[in-house]
Amino acid sequence: MTDYSSLYAQKRTTADELAARVENGWLLGTDAAVSAAPAIFSALARRAAEGGLSGVRVQTLLDVYPFEFYEDSGLFGKLTGFSWFSGTGARKAVNGGYGDFLPAYYRDIPRHIRANYSYDAVCLSVSPMDKHGYFSLGATCSYAVAMLEKAKRVYLEVNRFQPRAVCGAQIHLSQVDALIEHDQELPVLAPPKLDETSVTIGNLIAERIPDGACIQLGIGAIPDATGMALKAKHDLGIHTEMFTDSMVELIECGAVNNSKKQIHRGQSVTTFAYGSKRIYDYIDDNPAIALMPVDYVNDPEVICKNDNMISINAALEVDLWGQVCAESVGTKHMSGSGGQIDYVRGACQSKGGKSFIAFTSTAKGGTISKIKPILTPGAVCTTSKNDVDYVVTEYGVAHLRGHSLGERAKRLIEIAHPDFRDELRFEAKKRGMLI
Protein backbone atom coordinates (compact mmCIF):
# COMPACT_ATOMS: atom_id res chain seq x y z
CA MET A 1 0.00 0.00 0.00
CA THR A 2 1.28 3.47 -0.91
CA ASP A 3 2.49 5.51 2.04
CA TYR A 4 1.15 9.04 1.62
CA SER A 5 2.82 10.54 4.67
CA SER A 6 5.80 12.12 2.88
CA LEU A 7 3.62 13.65 0.13
CA TYR A 8 1.33 14.95 2.90
CA ALA A 9 4.30 16.53 4.67
CA GLN A 10 5.49 18.15 1.41
CA LYS A 11 2.08 19.77 0.87
CA ARG A 12 1.64 20.87 4.44
CA THR A 13 2.10 24.57 5.14
CA THR A 14 0.68 27.34 7.36
CA ALA A 15 -2.38 29.55 6.89
CA ASP A 16 -0.22 32.69 6.56
CA GLU A 17 2.03 31.07 3.98
CA LEU A 18 -1.04 29.97 1.99
CA ALA A 19 -2.53 33.45 2.23
CA ALA A 20 0.76 34.83 0.88
CA ARG A 21 0.33 32.73 -2.27
CA VAL A 22 -2.99 34.39 -3.16
CA GLU A 23 -2.71 37.04 -5.87
CA ASN A 24 -4.67 40.22 -6.47
CA GLY A 25 -7.87 39.64 -8.44
CA TRP A 26 -8.21 35.94 -7.58
CA LEU A 27 -11.60 34.28 -7.26
CA LEU A 28 -11.81 31.87 -4.32
CA GLY A 29 -14.54 29.31 -3.70
CA THR A 30 -15.77 27.37 -0.72
CA ASP A 31 -18.85 25.26 0.01
CA ALA A 32 -21.74 25.79 2.43
CA ALA A 33 -21.77 26.07 6.22
CA VAL A 34 -19.06 24.12 8.09
CA SER A 35 -17.11 23.21 4.95
CA ALA A 36 -15.63 26.71 4.72
CA ALA A 37 -11.98 27.09 5.75
CA PRO A 38 -11.94 29.62 8.65
CA ALA A 39 -8.19 29.75 9.33
CA ILE A 40 -7.31 30.28 5.66
CA PHE A 41 -9.90 33.06 5.31
CA SER A 42 -8.74 34.73 8.55
CA ALA A 43 -5.15 34.73 7.31
CA LEU A 44 -6.31 36.27 4.04
CA ALA A 45 -8.27 38.91 5.95
CA ARG A 46 -5.15 39.79 7.98
CA ARG A 47 -3.18 40.20 4.77
CA ALA A 48 -5.94 42.28 3.19
CA ALA A 49 -6.22 44.49 6.30
CA GLU A 50 -2.49 45.20 6.11
CA GLY A 51 -3.02 46.42 2.54
CA GLY A 52 -1.49 43.34 0.95
CA LEU A 53 -4.41 42.34 -1.27
CA SER A 54 -6.86 43.89 -3.70
CA GLY A 55 -9.70 42.60 -5.83
CA VAL A 56 -9.86 39.15 -4.22
CA ARG A 57 -13.40 37.72 -4.22
CA VAL A 58 -14.73 34.85 -2.13
CA GLN A 59 -17.93 32.95 -2.90
CA THR A 60 -19.77 31.51 0.10
CA LEU A 61 -23.14 29.95 0.89
CA LEU A 62 -24.71 30.05 4.36
CA ASP A 63 -21.72 31.55 6.18
CA VAL A 64 -21.60 30.13 9.71
CA TYR A 65 -18.15 31.43 10.66
CA PRO A 66 -17.72 35.14 11.45
CA PHE A 67 -15.80 35.85 8.25
CA GLU A 68 -13.91 39.14 8.47
CA PHE A 69 -14.91 40.10 4.90
CA TYR A 70 -18.56 40.06 6.02
CA GLU A 71 -17.88 41.70 9.39
CA ASP A 72 -15.49 44.48 8.36
CA SER A 73 -16.65 46.89 5.64
CA GLY A 74 -13.07 48.18 5.43
CA LEU A 75 -12.07 45.00 3.56
CA PHE A 76 -14.45 45.76 0.69
CA GLY A 77 -12.56 45.84 -2.60
CA LYS A 78 -9.58 44.06 -1.03
CA LEU A 79 -11.29 40.85 0.04
CA THR A 80 -14.98 40.87 -0.86
CA GLY A 81 -17.61 38.24 -0.11
CA PHE A 82 -20.33 37.09 -2.51
CA SER A 83 -23.03 34.79 -1.18
CA TRP A 84 -25.17 32.24 -2.99
CA PHE A 85 -27.57 32.28 -0.02
CA SER A 86 -26.58 34.29 3.11
CA GLY A 87 -25.89 33.74 6.75
CA THR A 88 -25.85 36.40 9.45
CA GLY A 89 -22.60 37.94 8.16
CA ALA A 90 -23.44 37.99 4.45
CA ARG A 91 -26.88 39.43 5.23
CA LYS A 92 -25.19 42.32 7.04
CA ALA A 93 -22.63 42.89 4.26
CA VAL A 94 -25.15 42.71 1.41
CA ASN A 95 -27.50 45.16 3.13
CA GLY A 96 -24.52 47.33 4.10
CA GLY A 97 -23.30 47.58 0.49
CA TYR A 98 -19.93 45.88 1.07
CA GLY A 99 -20.85 42.35 0.00
CA ASP A 100 -22.90 40.98 -2.87
CA PHE A 101 -25.50 38.31 -3.42
CA LEU A 102 -25.75 35.73 -6.20
CA PRO A 103 -29.43 34.93 -6.83
CA ALA A 104 -29.87 31.25 -7.71
CA TYR A 105 -31.75 28.11 -6.91
CA TYR A 106 -29.39 26.06 -4.76
CA ARG A 107 -29.90 23.11 -7.12
CA ASP A 108 -28.57 25.15 -10.06
CA ILE A 109 -25.32 26.31 -8.44
CA PRO A 110 -23.21 23.41 -9.80
CA ARG A 111 -24.55 24.28 -13.27
CA HIS A 112 -23.68 28.00 -12.82
CA ILE A 113 -20.21 27.04 -11.61
CA ARG A 114 -19.55 24.72 -14.55
CA ALA A 115 -20.86 27.32 -17.03
CA ASN A 116 -19.55 30.61 -15.62
CA TYR A 117 -16.75 30.27 -13.10
CA SER A 118 -13.15 29.27 -12.83
CA TYR A 119 -11.61 29.39 -9.36
CA ASP A 120 -8.03 30.44 -8.76
CA ALA A 121 -8.29 28.42 -5.57
CA VAL A 122 -10.95 26.39 -3.79
CA CYS A 123 -10.56 26.34 0.01
CA LEU A 124 -12.32 23.58 1.95
CA SER A 125 -12.39 22.21 5.46
CA VAL A 126 -11.95 18.43 5.46
CA SER A 127 -11.53 15.59 7.91
CA PRO A 128 -8.07 14.01 8.43
CA MET A 129 -6.63 11.91 5.60
CA ASP A 130 -7.35 8.17 5.62
CA LYS A 131 -4.73 5.49 4.92
CA HIS A 132 -5.57 5.57 1.18
CA GLY A 133 -4.84 9.30 0.90
CA TYR A 134 -8.47 10.50 0.90
CA PHE A 135 -10.01 13.38 2.86
CA SER A 136 -13.75 13.45 3.46
CA LEU A 137 -15.50 16.71 2.63
CA GLY A 138 -17.35 16.14 5.88
CA ALA A 139 -20.74 17.64 6.70
CA THR A 140 -21.22 19.36 3.31
CA CYS A 141 -21.34 17.96 -0.20
CA SER A 142 -23.40 20.52 -2.03
CA TYR A 143 -21.43 21.97 -4.96
CA ALA A 144 -17.82 21.23 -3.98
CA VAL A 145 -17.50 18.56 -6.67
CA ALA A 146 -18.43 21.08 -9.39
CA MET A 147 -16.07 23.67 -7.88
CA LEU A 148 -13.20 21.20 -7.78
CA GLU A 149 -13.69 20.54 -11.50
CA LYS A 150 -13.23 24.28 -12.10
CA ALA A 151 -10.39 24.87 -9.62
CA LYS A 152 -6.86 25.85 -10.66
CA ARG A 153 -5.66 25.12 -7.11
CA VAL A 154 -7.04 23.22 -4.14
CA TYR A 155 -6.21 24.33 -0.60
CA LEU A 156 -7.42 22.20 2.30
CA GLU A 157 -7.85 22.98 5.97
CA VAL A 158 -7.62 19.66 7.78
CA ASN A 159 -9.71 19.72 10.95
CA ARG A 160 -10.04 16.70 13.23
CA PHE A 161 -13.49 17.96 14.29
CA GLN A 162 -14.80 17.67 10.72
CA PRO A 163 -16.73 14.37 10.54
CA ARG A 164 -15.76 11.68 8.05
CA ALA A 165 -18.81 11.13 5.86
CA VAL A 166 -18.30 7.64 4.50
CA CYS A 167 -21.18 8.10 2.03
CA GLY A 168 -20.12 11.60 0.98
CA ALA A 169 -17.63 13.27 -1.33
CA GLN A 170 -13.90 12.62 -0.93
CA ILE A 171 -10.83 14.33 -2.29
CA HIS A 172 -7.48 12.61 -2.81
CA LEU A 173 -4.16 14.05 -1.66
CA SER A 174 -2.93 13.92 -5.27
CA GLN A 175 -5.59 16.53 -6.21
CA VAL A 176 -4.45 18.92 -3.48
CA ASP A 177 -1.96 21.77 -3.98
CA ALA A 178 -1.44 22.67 -0.32
CA LEU A 179 -2.96 21.96 3.07
CA ILE A 180 -2.86 23.29 6.58
CA GLU A 181 -3.85 21.61 9.82
CA HIS A 182 -6.26 23.60 11.96
CA ASP A 183 -8.33 21.89 14.63
CA GLN A 184 -11.38 23.92 15.57
CA GLU A 185 -14.76 22.80 16.91
CA LEU A 186 -17.36 23.24 14.18
CA PRO A 187 -19.86 26.08 14.59
CA VAL A 188 -23.18 25.00 16.08
CA LEU A 189 -26.70 26.23 15.56
CA ALA A 190 -28.78 26.77 18.68
CA PRO A 191 -31.33 23.94 19.04
CA PRO A 192 -34.90 24.80 17.96
CA LYS A 193 -36.88 26.82 20.50
CA LEU A 194 -39.90 24.78 21.52
CA ASP A 195 -42.27 27.50 22.68
CA GLU A 196 -46.06 27.14 22.73
CA THR A 197 -46.47 28.59 19.23
CA SER A 198 -43.96 26.32 17.53
CA VAL A 199 -45.37 23.27 19.33
CA THR A 200 -48.89 24.20 18.11
CA ILE A 201 -47.64 24.64 14.53
CA GLY A 202 -45.70 21.39 14.75
CA ASN A 203 -48.74 19.48 15.97
CA LEU A 204 -50.98 20.92 13.22
CA ILE A 205 -48.53 19.67 10.60
CA ALA A 206 -47.86 16.34 12.33
CA GLU A 207 -51.61 15.51 12.18
CA ARG A 208 -51.35 15.65 8.39
CA ILE A 209 -48.25 13.45 8.04
CA PRO A 210 -48.81 9.71 7.71
CA ASP A 211 -46.51 7.04 9.10
CA GLY A 212 -44.03 6.02 6.39
CA ALA A 213 -43.76 9.56 4.95
CA CYS A 214 -40.45 11.00 3.76
CA ILE A 215 -39.64 14.42 5.18
CA GLN A 216 -37.69 17.55 4.35
CA LEU A 217 -37.33 20.31 6.94
CA GLY A 218 -36.29 23.74 5.70
CA ILE A 219 -34.00 26.31 7.21
CA GLY A 220 -35.38 28.28 10.14
CA ALA A 221 -36.68 27.89 13.64
CA ILE A 222 -40.21 26.73 12.82
CA PRO A 223 -39.37 23.87 10.41
CA ASP A 224 -36.81 22.48 12.83
CA ALA A 225 -39.22 22.77 15.77
CA THR A 226 -41.86 21.00 13.68
CA GLY A 227 -39.56 18.03 13.37
CA MET A 228 -39.82 17.55 17.12
CA ALA A 229 -43.60 17.05 16.77
CA LEU A 230 -43.00 13.94 14.66
CA LYS A 231 -41.49 11.80 17.42
CA ALA A 232 -44.61 9.63 17.75
CA LYS A 233 -44.54 8.69 14.03
CA HIS A 234 -43.27 5.42 12.60
CA ASP A 235 -41.15 4.43 9.60
CA LEU A 236 -40.42 7.99 8.47
CA GLY A 237 -37.70 8.66 5.90
CA ILE A 238 -35.45 11.67 5.29
CA HIS A 239 -34.62 13.33 1.96
CA THR A 240 -33.62 16.90 2.67
CA GLU A 241 -31.40 19.82 1.69
CA MET A 242 -30.21 20.53 5.24
CA PHE A 243 -29.86 17.79 7.86
CA THR A 244 -30.91 19.23 11.22
CA ASP A 245 -30.88 18.46 14.91
CA SER A 246 -34.52 17.43 15.00
CA MET A 247 -33.72 14.80 12.35
CA VAL A 248 -31.09 13.18 14.58
CA GLU A 249 -33.67 13.25 17.36
CA LEU A 250 -36.21 11.50 15.09
CA ILE A 251 -33.64 8.88 14.08
CA GLU A 252 -32.50 8.20 17.63
CA CYS A 253 -36.06 7.94 19.00
CA GLY A 254 -36.94 5.43 16.26
CA ALA A 255 -39.47 7.57 14.33
CA VAL A 256 -37.16 7.62 11.29
CA ASN A 257 -35.78 4.35 9.90
CA ASN A 258 -35.94 5.13 6.16
CA SER A 259 -37.55 1.73 5.60
CA LYS A 260 -40.38 2.90 3.34
CA LYS A 261 -38.41 5.09 0.93
CA GLN A 262 -38.57 4.36 -2.79
CA ILE A 263 -34.99 5.60 -3.34
CA HIS A 264 -32.00 5.30 -1.00
CA ARG A 265 -33.94 2.95 1.27
CA GLY A 266 -32.23 2.61 4.63
CA GLN A 267 -30.38 5.91 4.28
CA SER A 268 -31.10 9.54 5.12
CA VAL A 269 -30.17 11.73 2.16
CA THR A 270 -28.97 15.33 2.45
CA THR A 271 -26.66 17.83 0.80
CA PHE A 272 -25.31 19.44 3.99
CA ALA A 273 -25.70 19.26 7.74
CA TYR A 274 -25.65 22.07 10.23
CA GLY A 275 -26.67 22.03 13.86
CA SER A 276 -25.24 20.81 17.14
CA LYS A 277 -22.20 18.63 17.81
CA ARG A 278 -24.66 15.74 18.00
CA ILE A 279 -25.19 16.04 14.21
CA TYR A 280 -21.48 15.98 13.42
CA ASP A 281 -21.00 12.96 15.69
CA TYR A 282 -23.91 11.23 13.95
CA ILE A 283 -22.38 11.74 10.49
CA ASP A 284 -18.92 10.53 11.47
CA ASP A 285 -18.24 7.10 9.89
CA ASN A 286 -21.98 6.47 9.54
CA PRO A 287 -23.17 4.69 6.38
CA ALA A 288 -26.81 5.44 7.30
CA ILE A 289 -26.48 9.01 6.00
CA ALA A 290 -25.63 9.91 2.40
CA LEU A 291 -24.29 13.41 1.66
CA MET A 292 -24.82 14.00 -2.05
CA PRO A 293 -24.45 16.90 -4.53
CA VAL A 294 -27.24 19.48 -4.44
CA ASP A 295 -28.05 19.18 -8.14
CA TYR A 296 -29.16 15.62 -7.37
CA VAL A 297 -30.62 15.98 -3.86
CA ASN A 298 -32.70 19.11 -4.62
CA ASP A 299 -33.93 18.01 -8.06
CA PRO A 300 -37.76 17.90 -7.87
CA GLU A 301 -37.69 14.86 -10.22
CA VAL A 302 -35.60 13.05 -7.59
CA ILE A 303 -37.49 14.43 -4.57
CA CYS A 304 -40.84 13.20 -5.92
CA LYS A 305 -39.61 9.62 -6.33
CA ASN A 306 -40.31 9.03 -2.65
CA ASP A 307 -44.03 8.54 -2.00
CA ASN A 308 -45.68 10.69 0.70
CA MET A 309 -42.93 13.28 0.42
CA ILE A 310 -43.57 16.05 2.95
CA SER A 311 -41.75 19.38 2.75
CA ILE A 312 -41.89 21.90 5.59
CA ASN A 313 -40.42 25.35 4.99
CA ALA A 314 -40.54 28.80 6.55
CA ALA A 315 -41.64 32.20 5.25
CA LEU A 316 -41.36 35.85 6.17
CA GLU A 317 -44.69 36.85 4.67
CA VAL A 318 -47.49 35.52 2.47
CA ASP A 319 -50.02 37.61 0.53
CA LEU A 320 -53.69 36.86 -0.02
CA TRP A 321 -52.98 35.20 -3.38
CA GLY A 322 -50.67 32.79 -1.59
CA GLN A 323 -47.39 34.23 -2.86
CA VAL A 324 -44.66 33.28 -0.39
CA CYS A 325 -41.76 35.57 0.46
CA ALA A 326 -38.93 33.78 2.28
CA GLU A 327 -36.01 35.96 1.21
CA SER A 328 -36.50 39.58 2.16
CA VAL A 329 -38.29 41.97 4.46
CA GLY A 330 -39.39 44.45 1.82
CA THR A 331 -36.18 45.34 0.00
CA LYS A 332 -33.99 44.18 2.90
CA HIS A 333 -32.16 41.02 1.86
CA MET A 334 -32.49 38.13 4.33
CA SER A 335 -31.67 34.95 2.46
CA GLY A 336 -31.50 33.15 -0.90
CA SER A 337 -34.16 30.89 -2.38
CA GLY A 338 -32.25 27.80 -1.30
CA GLY A 339 -34.28 24.76 -2.19
CA GLN A 340 -37.68 25.94 -1.02
CA ILE A 341 -39.37 25.91 -4.41
CA ASP A 342 -37.75 22.60 -5.41
CA TYR A 343 -39.10 20.90 -2.29
CA VAL A 344 -42.54 22.50 -2.71
CA ARG A 345 -42.65 21.15 -6.27
CA GLY A 346 -41.05 17.79 -5.48
CA ALA A 347 -43.45 17.14 -2.59
CA CYS A 348 -46.49 18.15 -4.63
CA GLN A 349 -45.43 15.83 -7.47
CA SER A 350 -44.90 12.89 -5.13
CA LYS A 351 -47.66 10.29 -4.73
CA GLY A 352 -49.43 11.32 -1.50
CA GLY A 353 -47.00 14.24 -1.02
CA LYS A 354 -47.75 17.59 0.62
CA SER A 355 -45.86 20.81 1.07
CA PHE A 356 -46.25 23.06 4.13
CA ILE A 357 -45.13 26.68 4.45
CA ALA A 358 -45.17 27.34 8.19
CA PHE A 359 -44.58 30.47 10.26
CA THR A 360 -45.79 32.30 13.33
CA SER A 361 -48.72 34.57 12.44
CA THR A 362 -46.92 37.76 13.53
CA ALA A 363 -43.43 39.24 13.75
CA LYS A 364 -41.86 41.93 15.94
CA GLY A 365 -43.74 41.17 19.15
CA GLY A 366 -47.15 40.83 17.49
CA THR A 367 -47.00 44.21 15.74
CA ILE A 368 -46.70 42.88 12.16
CA SER A 369 -48.94 40.31 10.50
CA LYS A 370 -47.03 37.86 8.29
CA ILE A 371 -50.20 37.35 6.25
CA LYS A 372 -50.57 40.53 4.22
CA PRO A 373 -53.02 41.86 1.63
CA ILE A 374 -50.07 42.33 -0.75
CA LEU A 375 -46.39 41.51 -0.35
CA THR A 376 -44.46 44.46 1.06
CA PRO A 377 -43.07 46.52 -1.86
CA GLY A 378 -39.69 45.10 -2.79
CA ALA A 379 -40.38 41.70 -1.21
CA VAL A 380 -39.06 38.71 -3.15
CA CYS A 381 -41.62 36.10 -4.18
CA THR A 382 -39.93 32.77 -3.44
CA THR A 383 -42.77 30.29 -3.95
CA SER A 384 -45.38 31.33 -6.47
CA LYS A 385 -49.15 31.22 -6.04
CA ASN A 386 -49.23 28.35 -8.54
CA ASP A 387 -46.95 26.15 -6.48
CA VAL A 388 -47.99 26.91 -2.90
CA ASP A 389 -49.81 24.04 -1.19
CA TYR A 390 -50.55 24.29 2.57
CA VAL A 391 -49.88 27.42 4.66
CA VAL A 392 -49.72 26.97 8.44
CA THR A 393 -49.72 29.34 11.43
CA GLU A 394 -50.53 28.68 15.07
CA TYR A 395 -54.18 29.45 14.15
CA GLY A 396 -54.59 26.63 11.65
CA VAL A 397 -53.87 25.21 8.21
CA ALA A 398 -54.98 26.76 4.90
CA HIS A 399 -54.96 24.56 1.81
CA LEU A 400 -54.43 26.86 -1.18
CA ARG A 401 -53.22 24.75 -4.07
CA GLY A 402 -55.82 24.51 -6.82
CA HIS A 403 -58.20 26.87 -5.02
CA SER A 404 -59.57 30.24 -6.20
CA LEU A 405 -58.30 33.64 -5.10
CA GLY A 406 -61.46 34.18 -3.06
CA GLU A 407 -61.13 30.85 -1.30
CA ARG A 408 -57.42 31.51 -0.65
CA ALA A 409 -58.16 34.92 0.88
CA LYS A 410 -60.87 33.43 3.10
CA ARG A 411 -58.66 30.54 4.28
CA LEU A 412 -55.62 32.74 4.87
CA ILE A 413 -57.62 35.30 6.86
CA GLU A 414 -58.91 32.45 9.06
CA ILE A 415 -55.34 31.53 10.05
CA ALA A 416 -54.06 35.13 10.42
CA HIS A 417 -53.65 36.56 13.91
CA PRO A 418 -57.11 37.70 15.17
CA ASP A 419 -55.85 41.28 15.60
CA PHE A 420 -55.29 41.58 11.84
CA ARG A 421 -58.27 39.67 10.44
CA ASP A 422 -60.63 42.69 10.09
CA GLU A 423 -58.02 44.68 8.22
CA LEU A 424 -57.24 41.74 5.90
CA ARG A 425 -60.99 41.17 5.28
CA PHE A 426 -61.45 44.88 4.49
CA GLU A 427 -58.57 44.83 1.98
CA ALA A 428 -59.77 41.60 0.39
CA LYS A 429 -63.31 42.98 -0.01
CA LYS A 430 -61.97 46.22 -1.48
CA ARG A 431 -60.22 44.16 -4.17
CA GLY A 432 -63.32 42.07 -4.85
CA MET A 433 -61.64 38.92 -3.56
CA LEU A 434 -64.37 38.05 -1.06
CA ILE A 435 -67.69 37.60 -2.82
Which stretches of the chain bind ligand COA, using CB under 6 A? 218-222, 241, 313-317, 326-327, 329, 334-335, 337-340, 343, 363-364, 368, 370
Please, what is the minimum distance in Å from the beta carbon of residue 317 to ligand COA?
4
Beta bridge partners of 269: 239, 290
50 versus 364: smaller Cβ distance to ligand COA: 364
Whole-angstrom distance, CA of residue 164 vs CA of residue 169: 10
Please, what is the minimum distance in Å from the beta carbon of residue 194 to ligand COA?
14
What pairing do the DSSP bridges indicate for beta strands 317-319 and 324-325?
antiparallel
Residue 48 near residue 79 (C-beta atoms within 8 A): yes
Beta bridge partners of 371: 318
Please, what is the minimum distance in Å from the beta carbon of residue 196 to ligand COA?
16
Please, what is the minimum distance in Å from the beta carbon of residue 206 to ligand COA?
19
Catalytic residue of the set 157, 241, 317, 394 = 241
Burial class (CB in 10 A: 0-12, 13-18, 19+), 65: buried
157 versus 317: smaller Cβ distance to ligand COA: 317
Residue 169 near residue 193 (C-beta atoms within 8 A): no
137 versus 375: smaller Cβ distance to ligand COA: 375
Q: At what angle do helices 245-252 and 221-228 cross, to 10 degrees?
A: 10
41 versus 243: smaller Cβ distance to ligand COA: 243
Please, what is the minimum distance in Å from the beta carbon of residue 332 to ligand COA?
8
- Is 241 an active-site residue? yes
Radius of gyration of the CA atoms of the chain, in A: 22
Please, what is the minimum distance in Å from the beta carbon of residue 77 to ligand COA?
28
123 versus 205: smaller Cβ distance to ligand COA: 205
35 versus 340: smaller Cβ distance to ligand COA: 340
How many CB atoms are closer than 10 A to CB 233? 19
Catalytic residues: 241
